[in-house]
Chain A
Amino acid sequence: EVQLVESGEGLVQPGSSMKLSCVASGFTFSNYGMNWIRQAPKKGLEWIALIYYDSSSKYYADSVKGRFTISRDNSKNTLYLEMNSLRSEDTAMYYCAKSRLFDYWGQGVMVTVSS
């Protein structure tokens, strides 16, 4: 059974940093690209980043480019999202999702940016 479990939830101040993790199981993690998606309160979903299976390519939404970094450790079956210079508008539920086909998603973690 495919499982994606995010962690790193929390409340941080504007301008600070935070790192999310997504641990994968039930499939060969190193064979698939992975995504991060977020949903701000009472807003729609926003795709924010994709990383290829071998980390050879990474793509970002303009809203996070230069501030967020997607990475992965295939030896640990783990996807990461490092978030710097956080803003109030980054407050959202953050989900990881498997592959370019977005076939499986985690349950999400809440990130709140507030002073």
Chain B
Amino acid sequence: DIQMTQSPSFLSASVGDRVTINCKASQNINKYLNWYQQKLGEAPKRLIYNTNNLQTGIPSRFSGSGSGTDYTLTISSLQPEDFATYFCLQHNSFPFTFGSGTKLEIK
């Protein structure tokens, strides 16, 4: 199975900050990497698919990059509504696997 190591687990930041969240795969996942935002009691929302494709309706302050085994989600300027939990998903090969999540909190 492909292991997805997500970091950091917790992130404290302020409105307006630029933040990055990382996912490292245990093997090449060929850019089949999605990023999600989840708020308490809500369905996970896809932000980015296949490494760097912005989901329709998601603000352009969210971006993704990476290749091979290393992937990054960047939020260029944090807004109050961005404080949530973020996780990555590799869908390159079965079983699909998730990062452990990053909880983004207000500093």
Interface of B is mostly: loop
Contact A102 B46 (CB under 8 A): yes
Q: Can you list 9 pairs linking A and B with CB atoms under 8 Å apart?
A: A44-B87, A44-B99, A45-B101, A50-B96, A59-B94, A95-B43, A101-B91, A104-B46, A107-B43
CA distance A22 to B95 in the complex (A): 21
Interface of A is mostly: loop
Contact A102 B95 (CB under 8 A): no
Residues of A within 8 A of B49 (CB): 101, 103
Q: Cβ of A106 < 8 Å from any Cβ of B?
A: yes
Q: Cβ of B20 < 8 Å from any Cβ of A?
A: no
Contact A103 B55 (CB under 8 A): yes
CA distance A106 to B42 in the complex (A): 8
Contact A102 B91 (CB under 8 A): yes
CA distance A35 to B89 in the complex (A): 13
Select which of B87, B91, B100 is within 8 A of A100 by beta carbon: B91
- B residues near A, CB below 8 A? 34, 41-46, 49-50, 55, 87, 89, 91, 94-101
CA distance A61 to B43 in the complex (A): 22
Q: How far is the CB of A42 from chain B (nearest CB, A)?
A: 11
The contact string, 1 if C-beta is below 8 Å from chain B, for chain A 73-115, is 0000000000000000000000100001111111110000000
Q: Cβ of A32 < 8 Å from any Cβ of B?
A: no
Contact A102 B89 (CB under 8 A): yes
Contact B43 A44 (CB under 8 A): no
Residues of B within 8 A of A47 (CB): 89, 95-98
Can you add 8 more A-B contacts, CB < 8 Å, to A35-B96, A102-B46, A105-B46? A45-B89, A45-B98, A47-B96, A62-B95, A102-B34, A103-B46, A103-B55, A104-B43
A-B residue pairs, 4 tightest by C-beta: A45-B98, A47-B96, A105-B43, A107-B43
CA distance A95 to B87 in the complex (A): 15
Residues of B within 8 A of A108 (CB): 43
Most buried by B among A50, A59, A102, A103: A102
